[in-house]
C-alpha cells in the first residue's frame, strides 16, 4: 500500500502541509490574499520561472494557502501531489484535458453527476474527444468499450444519482490490463470513507465544495495524482512522456515521475485555463477539512438511522442506500458505511414528492449535496421537471424519487421534519386514491 504520510488521517486533516510560520507563529493557516510574490532578485525570478527553484510566482498557478489544502488532500488520499481548482467541474475538466487530445476517447460510467455527463457527452465532443458510457460494474462491457484511442476510464466511487458503488479493484484490473488509468470522482465518499488510490485508482477528483468543506460556503475542486501509473509503459500518453515545448521542452515523466500528471496540470492547465482556487476559499475549505472525519461519522450514523426510519414509514414506497443489501465490494470498499446520500420514493408519485418537499421546515430544498445541514431535492419537479415520465425512468430517476443528503443535525429532528413531509405526501396520495375510486 502506498502512503504519503505516516500520520493518522485525523492528524493529517488538522496538520498536514502547514506548520506555524516563523514570522508570527500563526497557528491557523494564514490567508495569503495576494496575486503575486516579490522576487528577492532577478536571479531568483529567473530561477523560479525556469523551475530551478520551487516557490510561488502568481496565484493563478500556485498560492501558499491553496498549497496547504493541496498537500493536505494529497496526504489524506495517499497521492503523490494535488492541484486545487476553482470547482469540482474544473478539476474534472483539467484532468480530462491533460490526459486527452482531439481524437481521443474516454469510457465512463453511465450513472454519474449530470454536469459531468454534459461535459463528457457534449462539451468535450466539440473538441473531438468522444465518450462511451457503460455499466461500470459490468467488466465485459467495460473491456469491450475500450478502443485504441481510449485514454482513461472514469467513474464515481458512489454514483450519482443511483448510488451504485463502483467496484474499483475490478475496474482497475480491466483498465490496467490495457495500460489505461482509472480516474475516480470520490466526492460522495470523501477521503474519510474510502481512499480510491488504495483500491487501484490512478487519479482522484473531489468536488471540495461538498462534504470536505461541509459548511456550504465555498466552491472548489481538487485533482490528486495517485502516482502509481506508469505513463511511459502505457505508451498512450505523449502529453506526459514527450517534451512539452511550451514549458521549457519539459518531459514531465522524466522530470517528475509519480507526480507527472499533477505537474502537467500545474504547468499547462493552471497557466492556460486558470481555473484557480482563491486563497480565501482554500482557507474556508481548510476549516471544513479539519473536522471532516468527525462530521462524516455523524453523517453516516444519521444516514443509517434515516434509512431504518424511512423503511418503517407507511407513506414511503421504497428506500435506496448502498448499504441496503450491500454488494460484497461495497462492504469491502466502505467498511465505515457507504456515505450519507440516500434516495426514497413516496407513495403518490410526482405530486406527492412535491408535497413532501414543500412541507419541510428544517431540511433545505436546494441543488447541492454534502452540506452539514440536511438537503433535499425532488428532481421530478426541479432539475428534471421537463422530462416525461418515460425519460425520467431512462435517466434512472423515478417520478417519486427524493434525493436526500443527510446532515449532521440531531437525527430525531430530521425525522420529525420528514414526518411533516410524509404526512403532506400521504394527503396527496389519499386524494389521488379517492379520485381514482370516484
Partner 1 sequence: MYITVDNQNTFVATGGKPFNPNLPTVVLLHGSGTDHRGWALQARWFAFHGYSVFAPDMPAHSLSAGEALTSIEAMGAWLVRALDAAKVSNVHLIGHSQGFLVALEAAVLLSKRLLSVTAMATASAIPVNPALIETAQKDPALAAQMMLQWGFGNQHQYGASAVPGMQPIGIGQRIMANNPLAIDLAACNAYTAGSKRAQQLASEGCASCVILAAQDRMTPKKEGFKLAQDLGTHAQVIADTGHMLPMEAPKQSLSIMKTFIQTLEK
Ligand X SMILES: Cc1ncc(COP(=O)(O)O)c(C=O)c1O
Which residue's CB is nearer to partner 1, number 82 or number 168? Answer: 82
154 binds ligand X (CB under 6 A): no
156 binds ligand X (CB under 6 A): yes
Report helix angle 411-437 to 349-359, nearest 10: 140
Least CB distance from residue 228 to partner 1, whole Å?
Answer: 6
Query: 25 touches which of partner 1, ligand X, none (CB within 5 to 8 A by kind)?
Result: none
Residue 31 lies near ligand X (rule: CB under 6 A): no
Q: Cis before residue 81, ω within 30 degrees of 0? A: no
Q: Maximum CA pair distance of the chain? A: 88
Give yes or no for a contact between 396 and 402, defined as CB atoms under 8 angstroms apart: no
Cα–Cα distance list, 165 to 112, 158, 162, 285 (Å): 11, 5, 9, 26
- Compute the least distance from the CB of residue 15 to partner 1, in Å: 6
Give the per-residue SS3 of 146-185: CCCCEEEEEEECECCCCCCECCHHHHHHHHHHCCCCEEEE
Which CB sits closer to ligand X, 88 or 258? 88
Which residue of 59, 65, 71, 87 would you call a contact of ligand X, by CB under 6 A? 87
Q: Residue 125: CB partners within 8 Å, gap ≥ 6? A: 131
Binding flag, residue 289, partner 1 (CB under 8 A): no
Residue 211 sits in the site that holds ligand X (CB under 6 A): no
Rule CB under 8 A: choose which of 81, 162, 322, 421 binds partner 1: 81
Binding partner 1 (rule: CB under 8 A), the pick from 9, 47, 326, 430 is: 47
Q: Which residues contact 250 (CB under 8 A, 6 or more apart)?
A: 51, 243, 244, 267
Q: Which is nearer to ligand X, 113 or 133 (CB)?
A: 113
* C-alpha to C-alpha distances, 186 to 43, 88, 257, 264, 430, nearest whole angstrom: 42, 11, 24, 21, 41
* # residues near ligand X by CB under 6 A: 15
Residue 111: all three cell numbers together: 450513472
Contact residue for ligand X among 108, 157, 209, 374 (CB under 6 A): 209
45 interacts with partner 1 by CB under 8 A: no
User: In what side-by-side order are the strands of the sheet with 341-346?
Assistant: 316-320, 341-346, 401-405, 375-377, 364-365
> Contact between 151 and partner 1 (CB under 8 A)?
no
User: CA-to-CA distance for 64 and 46, rounded, in angstroms?
Assistant: 20
Binding mask 195-234 for partner 1 (x = CB under 8 A): --------------------------------xx---x--
Nearest residue to ligand X on Cβ basis: 88
Contact call for residue 221 and ligand X (CB under 6 A)? yes
160 binds ligand X per the rule CB under 6 A:
yes
Q: At which residue does the C-alpha cell 486533516 appear?
A: 13
Nearer to ligand X, 109 or 411 (CB): 109
58 vs 318, beta carbon nearer partner 1: 58
Binding region for ligand X (CB under 6 A)? 87-89, 113, 116, 156, 160, 185, 187-188, 207, 209, 219, 221, 369
Amino acid at each position: 500500500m502506498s502512503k504519503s504520510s505516516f500520520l493518522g488521517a485525523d492528524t493529517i486533516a488538522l496538520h498536514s502541509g502547514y506548520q506555524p510560520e516563523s514570522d508570527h507563529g500563526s497557528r491557523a493557516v494564514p490567508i495569503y490574499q495576494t496575486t503575486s510574490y516579490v522576487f528577492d532578485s532577478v536571479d531568483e525570478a529567473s530561477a523560479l520561472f525556469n523551475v530551478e527553484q520551487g516557490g510561488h510566482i502568481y496565484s493563478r498557478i500556485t498560492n501558499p494557502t491553496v498549497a496547504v489544502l493541496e498537500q493536505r488532500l494529497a496526504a489524506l488520499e495517499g497521492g503523490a501531489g494535488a492541484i486545487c481548482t476553482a470547482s469540482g467541474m474544473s478539476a474534472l475538466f483539467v484532468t480530462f484535458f491533460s490526459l486527452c487530445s482531439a481524437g481521443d476517447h474516454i469510457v465512463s460510467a453511465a450513472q454519474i453527476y449530470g454536469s459531468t455527463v454534459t461535459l463528457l457527452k457534449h462539451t468535450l465532443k466539440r473538441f473531438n474527444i468522444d465518450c462511451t458510457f457503460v455499466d461500470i460494474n459490468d467488466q465485459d462491457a467495460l473491456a469491450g468499450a475500450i478502443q485504441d484511442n481510449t485514454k482513461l476510464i472514469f467513474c464515481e466511487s458512489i454514483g450519482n444519482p443511483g448510488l451504485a458503488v463502483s467496484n474499483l479493484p475490478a475496474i482497475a484490473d480491466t483498465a490496467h490490463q490495457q495500460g489505461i488509468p482509472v480516474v475516480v470522482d470520490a466526492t460522495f465518499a470523501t477521503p474519510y470513507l474510502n481512499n480510491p488510490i488504495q483500491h487501484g485508482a490512478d487519479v482522484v477528483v473531489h468536488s471540495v465544495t461538498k462534504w470536505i468543506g461541509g459548511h456550504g460556503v465555498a466552491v472548489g475542486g481538487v485533482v490528486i495524482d495517485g502516482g502509481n501509473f506508469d505513463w511511459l509503459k502505457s505508451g498512450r500518453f505523449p502529453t506526459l512522456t514527450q517534451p512539452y515545448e511550451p514549458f521549457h521542452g519539459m518531459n514531465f515523466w522524466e522530470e517528475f515521475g509519480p507526480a507527472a500528471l499533477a505537474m502537467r496540470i500545474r504547468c499547462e492547465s493552471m497557466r492556460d485555463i486558470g481555473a484557480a482556487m482563491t486563497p480565501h476559499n482554500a482557507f474556508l475549505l481548510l476549516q471544513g477539512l479539519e473536522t471532516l472525519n468527525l462530521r462524516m461519522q455523524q453523517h453516516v450514523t444519521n444516514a443509517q438511522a434515516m434509512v431504518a426510519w424511512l423503511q418503517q414509514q407507511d407513506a414511503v414506497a421504497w428506500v435506496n442506500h448502498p448499504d441496503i443489501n450491500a454488494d460484497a465490494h461495497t462492504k469491502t470498499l466502505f467498511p465505515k458505511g457507504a456515505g450519507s446520500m440516500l434516495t426514497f420514493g413516496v407513495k403518490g408519485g410526482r405530486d406527492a414528492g412535491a408535497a413532501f418537499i414543500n412541507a419541510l421546515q428544517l431540511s433545505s430544498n436546494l441543488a447541492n449535496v454534502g452540506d452539514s445541514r440536511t438537503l433535499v431535492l425532488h428532481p421530478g419537479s426541479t432539475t428534471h421537471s421537463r422530462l416525461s415520465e418515460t425519460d425520467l425512468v431512462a435517466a434512472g430517476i423515478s417520478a417519486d424519487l427524493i434525493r436526500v443528503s443527510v446532515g449532521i443535525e440531531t437525527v430525531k429532528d430530521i425525522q420529525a421534519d420528514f414526518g411533516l413531509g410524509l404526512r403532506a405526501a400521504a394527503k396527496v396520495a389519499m386524494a389521488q386514491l379517492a379520485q381514482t375510486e370516484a
